[in-house]
């Protein structure tokens, strides 16, 4: 399997770095953290209309560009460098991949074009009160009502659920776990923003009380869809963690060159050299894991579960370590609200928990290997 970056991917990276650096400097990210939506709707529209990012991995017949996860990984790595606040993970990955995994041609034709051009913000509602991402705690229920379905239940930790136009809900029927499309503004749907450790990534609680829904795919096939979506989400989250870890390393090295103690830069001290060298090893190892998982997602679907768990567990832990070491290298200023180190630390911790902890993914990996 070839892990080298192609010329087209390098050009994509360069364009995205310019875009995200321009649109999401630290001051802008901090300002958006305080808004109700949590992101800039004008920039979101620009991403869809000018860059086509929301439809990057959506098939061309549904209005997308038809690229794969190798390209999505580049996008997420660059987003991770700036902590870019947007519903991109929910709307450009979770929702379209759930629709595609359902193999429901009619639902894909109806719903994917709006997601691809950015006019529809979509998300997927997995978890309930226990916060499990494997579907084992799902109690939300759906019952038929004529040609439609009626849903009842409460979904927790829904990514960008407070702004989503479309919510894809996993709920139980008589035949088992199934997927339903629910209008986020429909009667019977209540959305409540939740307080989060990472203020650059929004979560919501979605309450369904007699909410109308549309069955997506076949009844009782939801578990396979859920597992695939969580695996693919873990792949792009690993790439995002790589970008965050790289940024933590860059900030640390830059600071070590200019901060002086005892008449010389702190980067000349052996302890700081060792920290930076260890971080470089972590970052480059994360790069290999993230790139491998993205290629597997595109080329070897049978190996996706193990590759996704490998990348998610390693990259999430590497990011958390890098963020913690960045605070240590920056010293007193690194602990303050004014410095960005705490923003990366919070994102790193939330990334560890999202879609399953590293320990959970290591257990999955061990099980898949028969250990």
What is the arithmetic mean of pLDDT over 6-15?
92
Q: Give the model's pLDDT for residue 79.
A: 97
Residue 1 counted as domain residue: no
pTM (2 d.p.): 0.95
- 56 or 130: which leads in pLDDT: 56
β-sheet bridge partners, residue 172: 141, 177
Q: Total domain count for the chain?
A: 3
**Domain CATH code at residue 240:** 1.20.140.10
**Domain CATH code at residue 112:** 1.10.540.10
Q: Give the model's pLDDT for residue 263.
A: 85
* 95 close to 257: Cβ distance less than 8 angstroms: no
Q: Give the model's pLDDT for residue 267.
A: 82
Residues counted in the chain: 371
Identify the band that residue 308 occupies on the pLDDT scale cut at 50, 70 and 90.
Answer: very high
Query: Do both 237 and 291 map to the same domain?
Result: yes
Residue 2 counted as domain residue: no
Residue 60 counted as domain residue: yes
What is the arithmetic mean of pLDDT over 139-145?
95
Residue 329 counted as domain residue: yes
Q: Is 123 exposed, middle or buried (0-12, 13-18, 19+ CB in 10 A)?
A: buried
Identify the band that residue 370 occupies on the pLDDT scale cut at 50, 70 and 90.
Answer: confident
Q: Give the model's pLDDT for residue 261.
A: 86
Query: Do both 92 and 150 map to the same domain?
Result: no
Tokens (6 digits) for 63: 């209005």
- Final residue before a domain boundary, out of 117, 141, 175: 117
Q: Does the pLDDT of residue 146 top 90, yes or no?
A: no
Q: Does the pLDDT of residue 145 top 80, yes or no?
A: yes
Per mean pLDDT, which range of 1-10, 194-203, 273-282, 299-308 is the poorest?
Answer: 1-10
* 62 close to 100: Cβ distance less than 8 angstroms: no
- Final residue before a domain boundary, out of 66, 87, 117: 117
Query: Do both 37 and 157 map to the same domain?
Result: no
**Domain CATH code at residue 167:** 2.40.110.10
Query: Do both 104 and 141 map to the same domain?
Result: no
- Final residue before a domain boundary, out of 195, 220, 245: 220
What is the arithmetic mean of pLDDT over 271-287?
95
Per mean pLDDT, which range of 209-213, 243-247, 268-272, 308-312 is the poorest?
Answer: 268-272
Structural domain boundaries enclosing 272: 224-368
Average pLDDT value over all residues in the chain: 95
Q: Does the pLDDT of residue 251 top 70, yes or no?
A: yes
Q: Give the model's pLDDT for residue 2.
A: 65
Nearest-10 crossing angle of helices 7-23, 69-82: 30
Query: Do both 253 and 355 map to the same domain?
Result: yes
Query: Do both 206 and 240 map to the same domain?
Result: no
Identify the band that residue 57 occupies on the pLDDT scale cut at 50, 70 and 90.
Answer: very high
Report how many helices (DSSP H) and strands (DSSP E) the chain contains, helices first: 12, 9
Query: Do both 32 and 126 map to the same domain?
Result: no
Question: Percentage of the chain surpassing pLDDT 70?
Answer: 99
Query: Do both 341 and 299 map to the same domain?
Result: yes
Question: Percentage of the chain surpassing pLDDT 90?
Answer: 87
Q: Does the pLDDT of residue 201 top 70, yes or no?
A: yes
């Amino acid at each position: 399997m070839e892990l080298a970056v192609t010329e087209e991917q390098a050009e994509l990276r360069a364009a995205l770095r310019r875009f995200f650096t321009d649109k999401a400097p630290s001051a802008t990210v901090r300002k958006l953290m305080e808004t109700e939506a949590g992101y800039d709707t004008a920039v979101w529209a620009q991403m869809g209309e000018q860059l086509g990012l929301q439809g990057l991995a959506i098939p061309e017949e549904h209005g997308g560009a038809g690229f794969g996860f190798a390209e999505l990984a580049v996008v997420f790595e660059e987003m991770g460098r700036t902590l870019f606040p947007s519903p991109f993970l929910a709307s450009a990955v979770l929702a379209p991949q759930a629709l595609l995994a359902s193999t429901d041609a009619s639902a894909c034709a109806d719903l994917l074009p709006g997601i691809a051009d950015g006019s529809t913000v979509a998300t997927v509602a997995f978890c309930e009160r226990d916060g499990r991402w494997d579907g084992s705690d799902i109690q939300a229920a759906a019952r038929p009502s004529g040609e439609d379905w009626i849903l009842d239940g409460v979904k927790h930790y829904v990514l960008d659920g407070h702004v989503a136009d479309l919510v894809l809900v996993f709920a139980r029927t008589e035949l088992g776990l199934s997927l339903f499309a629910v209008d986020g503004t429909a009667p019977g749907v209540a959305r409540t923003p939740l307080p989060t450790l990472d203020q650059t990534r929004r979560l919501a609680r979605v309450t369904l009380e007699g909410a109308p829904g549309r069955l997506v795919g076949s009844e009782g096939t939801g578990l396979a869809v859920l597992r695939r979506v969580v695996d693919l989400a873990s792949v792009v989250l690993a790439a995002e963690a790589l970008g965050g870890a790289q940024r933590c390393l860059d900030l640390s090295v830059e600071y070590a060159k200019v901060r002086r103690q005892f008449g010389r830069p702190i980067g000349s001290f052996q302890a700081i050299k060792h920290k930076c060298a260890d971080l470089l090893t972590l970052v480059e190892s994360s790069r290999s894991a993230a790139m491998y998982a993205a290629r597997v997602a595109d080329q070897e679907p049978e190996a996706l579960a193990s590759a996704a768990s490998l990348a998610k567990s390693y990259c999430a832990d590497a990011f958390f370590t890098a963020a913690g070491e960045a605070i240590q290298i920056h010293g007193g200023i690194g602990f303050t609200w004014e410095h960005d180190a705490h923003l990366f630390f919070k994102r790193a911790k939330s990334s560890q928990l999202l879609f399953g902890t590293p320990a959970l993914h290591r257990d999955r990996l061990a099980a898949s290997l028969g250990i």
